[in-house]
Amino acid sequence: MHQLLPSAKKYIEKGRTPQERFKRACRLASAGNVAPMTVPGEAFRFREATSILKGKIRLPPLIGDVFGTAQKATRILYLTDNAGEIGFDSLLIATLREMGARVSLVVKEDPFFEDATMKDALSFSMDKLVDNIFTVNGFFIPGRSTSQLSDIFKRSDLVIAKGTGNYEALKDQRYGKAALYMLKVKCQPIARKTGAKIGSFIVKIET
């Protein structure tokens, strides 16, 4: 992942406007969510993201007013997923900060399968990018976390949820919050819920 970041950063910086740079960062962050549940090592190959950098793959569409909603958000809660993809998350967060947003990050308590932990966040210097980093045991579910994290959620304008687990944990408990989902559809139940094909990527805003 560290080897891919310079190329990924250059790809984002080629966007001529804040909107284009944001879209590029979203697509890379989405395409990083590739680990099949039965093949953990697959998370670190990033074939789709590499293909985006080389212009060899159809870009994931952004569904809904993704940029408009993010542009208006002043406080964002960012729910991470796989450890391998968190480098792409750092580039999207840097883009959000350039747009003026304050970002709070949520990672898992160690160990939690292959999901990102505090150690992973620190390895990409994300402590210097975000306002707060919180750890949770399992998935973040509104109303079931620490009082401080629950307060951050209440004050957030937008929640960015990476991966299937965060999608399912947040989907029906947004409490009116705008949510940006970024994941790869890996099973039939999620395909039915999202209306997307298995194997496709989702970058979708719900308000």
Q: Is residue 22 within 8 Å of residue 99, measured between CB atoms? A: yes
Is the predicted pLDDT of residue 136 greater than 50, yes or no?
yes
Instruction: Give the predicted TM-score (pTM) of the model.
Output: 0.88
**CATH code, 5-206:** 3.40.50.10880
pLDDT at 160: 97
Q: What is the mean pLDDT of the chain?
A: 86
Secondary structure (DSSP) of 187-206: SHHHHHHHT--TT-EEEEEE
Between the alpha carbon of residue 61 and those of residues 3, 29, 44, 64, 190, the distances in Å are 26, 13, 23, 9, 17
Domain spans of the chain? 5-206
Per-residue pLDDT reduced to its tens digit, 54-90: 766 667 788 899 999 999 999 999 999 888 788 899 9
Instruction: Write out the two tokens for 66.
Output: 């993704």
User: What are the backbone dihedrals phi and psi of residue 106, each rounded to the nearest 5 degrees, phi first?
Assistant: -120, 125
The burial class, CB within 10 Å (0-12 / 13-18 / 19+), for 64 is middle
pLDDT at 85: 84
